[in-house]
Amino acid sequence: MIIIMERGATKVQIQKVIDLLKDNGFDIRLNQGKVHTVIDAIGDKTSVTPGRVSALDGVKEVKVIREPFRLASRDRKSEDTVIEFSNGVKIGGNNKPVAMVGPCSVEDDYEGLLKVALAAKEMGCEFLRGGAFKPRTSPYDFDGYGEKALKFMKRASEETGLLTVSEVMDAADLDMMCDYIDVLQIGARNVQNFKLLKAVGKCNKPVILKRGLASTIREFLLAAEHIMYNGNPNVILCERGIRSFDNAFTRNVMDIASIPVIKKYSHLPIIVDPSHGTGQRYLIEPMAKAGLIVGADGIMIEVHHDPEKALSDGKQSLPIPMFKEVMARINQLTGRLQYEKNCLSANIK
């Protein structure tokens, strides 16, 4: 920790900082410049937080040296985390990127869902995604069919062999969800719902954690840390766009560079969701490819058997025939990606 004192900080103020740090086991170096005094506190203690130090009078700024995430950090674990499922599918590391496809919401139409699942299977995808509980900005919008939708998901999984992903919004639903679903998803709006993070941390299912609209990379990794700290190491990060000043043509701005940044600082797998990231059907293919070429471990794409009748997010869903074309081209790219990925890792890590 480095503490920069205000110009004009008094000797008493400086001493108070030093005392607090020493009392907490830090090794102290004091550097007095002409204008500012800087205190270096050496040690990796958690007994005193930066906020505690910065509240002392005369402290201008506290600069933390180490990243605040620990379990999620490459400092602690240098090899990539790989999550393996019972059917042998793997996410992360040098494994082939996975594809998670399906409707935003599972609707009251099992045949429709099955059509999507069969197309996904045909194109070599590994996961069926579908919402049972939907976070909706307005209380007047459709918010999902709940357990009925989960039953459909399980049935489609049994018919196709696909693994399933669905969003959890409430810790109270967790046990029930775990009966139906292979991977739990935490949505962007719940990225700092710490009670929910804690609850999924106690589950034994892998968790996809979506980046919040205003999450910094550091906060995003700290949200993952909450899950890991509570006992669940199987976190899959998901970049799905952040909020910017321009939403005239896309819903969000996809922070594609966050993928190699996170690969450098964390061992966790990360996937990319161009449907939510852009909100535009025509941008799904290019942005999925952009994510993959910088090293993403998978893609999540909305596909609907009849987007014009979708109860949510139709604008950003691919209809099945278009999905097949797009996925074929993505598969072509993926087949060649191993080479790119190896080169990148060599440079990044």
Residue in 80, 107, 225, 239 binding its own copies, rule: CB under 8 A: 225
The residue among 161 and 348 lying less far from its own copies, judged by its C-beta, is: 348
Instruction: Report angle CA 153, 183, 145 to the nearest 5 degrees.
Output: 40
Q: Interface residues for its own copies in 29-68 (CB under 8 A)?
A: 29, 31-36, 38, 40, 42-44, 46, 49, 51-52, 54-57, 63, 65-66, 68
What Rg value do the Cα atoms of the chain yield, rounded? 23
Residue in 77, 115, 205, 315 binding its own copies, rule: CB under 8 A: 315
90 DSSP β-pair partners: 84
10 contacts its own copies (rule: CB under 8 A) = no
Q: Cα–Cα distance between 337 and 48 in angstroms, integer?
A: 45
**How many CA atoms does the CB half-sphere of 104 hold within 13 Å?**
23
344 contacts its own copies (rule: CB under 8 A) = yes
Q: Interface residues for its own copies in 129-168 (CB under 8 A)?
A: 135-143
Count other Cβ atoms within 10 Å, centred on residue 315: 14
> 93 with 82: CB under 8 angstroms?
yes
Give me the least distance between CB of 163 and its own copies, in Å please.
Answer: 26
Residue in 97, 130, 131, 212 binding its own copies, rule: CB under 8 A: 212
**SS3 of residue 67 by DSSP:** coil
The residue among 163 and 294 lying less far from its own copies, judged by its C-beta, is: 294
234 contacts its own copies (rule: CB under 8 A) = no
Residue in 184, 311, 320, 327 binding its own copies, rule: CB under 8 A: 311
Residues in contact with its own copies, counted by CB under 8 A, come to a total of: 114
The residue among 62 and 181 lying less far from its own copies, judged by its C-beta, is: 62
Stretch that binds its own copies, among 83-91, 113-121, 159-167, 333-341 (CB under 8 A): 333-341
Residues 6+ apart with CB under 8 A from 168: 133, 174, 177, 184, 185, 186, 196, 200
255 contacts its own copies (rule: CB under 8 A) = yes
283 contacts its own copies (rule: CB under 8 A) = yes
End-to-end CA distance of the chain: 24
How do strand 207-210 and strand 270-272 relate by DSSP bridges? unpaired
